Amino acid sequence: MLQALVSLQMLLGSFLFLNMANSNLASARSSKQDEFYTQFYDIENEINAYLEYNPDVFKDKVVLLPCDDPEWSNFTRFFAQNFQSLGLKKLISTSYAPKSKLMDIHYTPSLFEQENPQFELSKSETHGKLFVLDKDVTGDGIINIEDLQWSYLDGNGDFDSEEVTKLRDEADFIITNPPFSLFRKFFAWIMESGKKFLLICNKNCASYKEVFPYIRDNKIWCGKTPMGVDLLFSMPPELEDDFIQNEKEGSKYRIVNGKVMGRSASVWFTNIEHGRRHQPLDLMTKANNLRFSKHKDVRGLQDYLHYDNFDAIEVPWVDAIPSDYEGVMGVPISFLDKYCPEQFQIIGITQSWDNLATKIYPEQIQVAKNGKRSRVTKLNDGAAIKVDTPPTDDVYYIVGDDIFTKAYVRILIQKVNEN
């Protein structure tokens, strides 16, 4: 009995250790992306879309760049360099204290900081910094990055601290690449402010229950840069070695001109108007899609497949959306960067939390590609498609005598009534 109890304790200890190890590993992987820095070109390319739509969009405005250190980040460099051409009233940047970051990144104060009379080594590591640009300090008649003034913050520069929140409330625009690991918290902080914003985030954020309702209600939308564009990010030198040793080249990073660049499936989200989102998709009719679509899983069908648990048809490709279909359609998340609110209305999403499913399935038997069977309830968190025979190259689910496949997360849309 005693031996059995000891064995059980050892087993539980191992289980807890593995859970902690897996949790720490996931946290470490997530925090790595917190040290991804946006390229100048990508910032410039995105901002230009808003200027093309409204050349005075930033005129006489205050722009806040939280989570932003000019030594690494290009956001401050871009807005400081273009301060006068944008007509800015004030530029504010804040950075996070090195000692407070999740990743243990080697830190050495820059010469810019060390040569300043207010430099304090202890504060440099434990306090955030405040950078302000609003006047010609050098007296050369130009307001640019040379006129950037800085000071230590009272705290570590956490975006939801009282002092940074006051800066948020002062600003007209909030623009940044926030820490991916803290995105939900950062997004809530942004939305409660009611400010205009432009953020980079992981594409999966679109399906978060904290984010999607704002997309559905046309309160936020994708930026100009398409989801399919491969955004690459610079990183600190010690992370470059870590990625080469521990991550997969091609999926997690690429080497460009000898430099390791981080990869992340990223997208810009904003509530600033730009012209791309008002360009309707050029689409074929339902009949022409079924006859001429370039996609073999559409071409030749008698009709579009209908979900078993949502009152909608399955449209697996954005360019296969039928222009003349009046009902609800399930489309890939990649639809969002092509979404024109004058053409389509977003109804919902095929996630269980959106409560649009027409039925709930009992426990299912999931059959993996390798034939392994397991009892699950996954079919209730997506759009189910009833099939006659088990697929040979896909996961499927058995519910009683019925067989189902499950579509990836789908956005539910409907054509806007032109009348």
Q: For residue range 212-232, list pLDDT tens digits in order.
A: 999 999 999 999 999 988 888
Note whether 54 and 126 are same-domain residues: yes
**What does the alpha-carbon distance between residue 174 and residue 153 come to, in Å, rounded to a whole number?**
19
**What does the alpha-carbon distance between residue 338 and residue 197 come to, in Å, rounded to a whole number?**
20
Domain termination residue (choose one: 239, 256, 276): 276
pLDDT digits (tens, 9 = 90+) for 273-312: 999 999 999 999 999 999 999 999 999 999 999 999 999 9
Q: What are the CA-CA distances from residue 192 to residues 90, 168, 179, 256, 403 (Å)? A: 22, 10, 18, 39, 45
pLDDT digits (tens, 9 = 90+) for 319-374: 999 999 999 999 999 999 999 999 999 999 999 999 999 999 999 999 999 999 99
Domain hosting 290: range is: 279-415
What are the residue ranges of helices labelled H in 247-317?
286-292
Strands (E), 10-87: 37-38, 62-65
In a domain, 12, yes or no: no
* Helix 40-53 vs helix 74-81: crossing angle, to nearest 10: 50
Residue 367 contacts residue 390 (beta carbons within 8 Å): yes
In a domain, 21, yes or no: no
Residue 36 contacts residue 264 (beta carbons within 8 Å): yes
pLDDT digits (tens, 9 = 90+) for 81-99: 999 999 999 999 998 877 6
The pLDDT of residue 101 is above 60: no
**What does the alpha-carbon distance between residue 350 and residue 330 come to, in Å, rounded to a whole number?**
8
Closest CA to 219 of 187, 264, 186: 187
pLDDT digits (tens, 9 = 90+) for 123-135: 877 888 999 999 9
Note whether 411 and 264 are same-domain residues: no
Note whether 293 and 156 are same-domain residues: no
Q: What are the CA-CA distances from residue 52 to residues 48, 55, 160, 173 (Å)? A: 6, 6, 32, 17
Note whether 248 and 190 are same-domain residues: yes
Domain termination residue (choose one: 237, 256, 276): 276
In a domain, 6, yes or no: no
Note whether 380 and 393 are same-domain residues: yes
**What does the alpha-carbon distance between residue 71 and residue 73 come to, in Å, rounded to a whole number?**
6
DSSP SS3 for 398: strand
Lowest mean pLDDT among 36-40, 380-384, 387-391, 406-410: 36-40
Mean pLDDT for the stretch of residues 71-85: 90
In a domain, 23, yes or no: no
pTM of the entire predicted model: 0.86
Note whether 199 and 309 are same-domain residues: no
In a domain, 409, yes or no: yes
pLDDT for position 244: 83
In a domain, 10, yes or no: no
In a domain, 14, yes or no: no
The mean pLDDT of the chain is 87
Note whether 55 and 126 are same-domain residues: yes
Mean pLDDT for the stretch of residues 94-123: 68
CB atoms within 10 A of CB 204: 13
Note whether 322 and 255 are same-domain residues: no
Instruction: Please give the helix or strand (H or E) that residue 260 lies within, else none.
Output: strand 259-263
Note whether 79 and 199 are same-domain residues: yes
Note whether 187 and 326 are same-domain residues: no
Domain termination residue (choose one: 276, 301, 335): 276
Task: Report the b/e string of 136-171 with b at 16+ CB within 10 A.
Answer: eeeeeeebbbebbebebbeebbbbebeebbebbeeb
In a domain, 227, yes or no: yes
State the total domains in the chain.
Answer: 2
Note whether 286 and 170 are same-domain residues: no
Tokens standing for residue 278: 């008002």
- The pairing of strands 402-406 and 129-133 is unpaired
Mean pLDDT for the stretch of residues 97-102: 63
Note whether 231 and 290 are same-domain residues: no
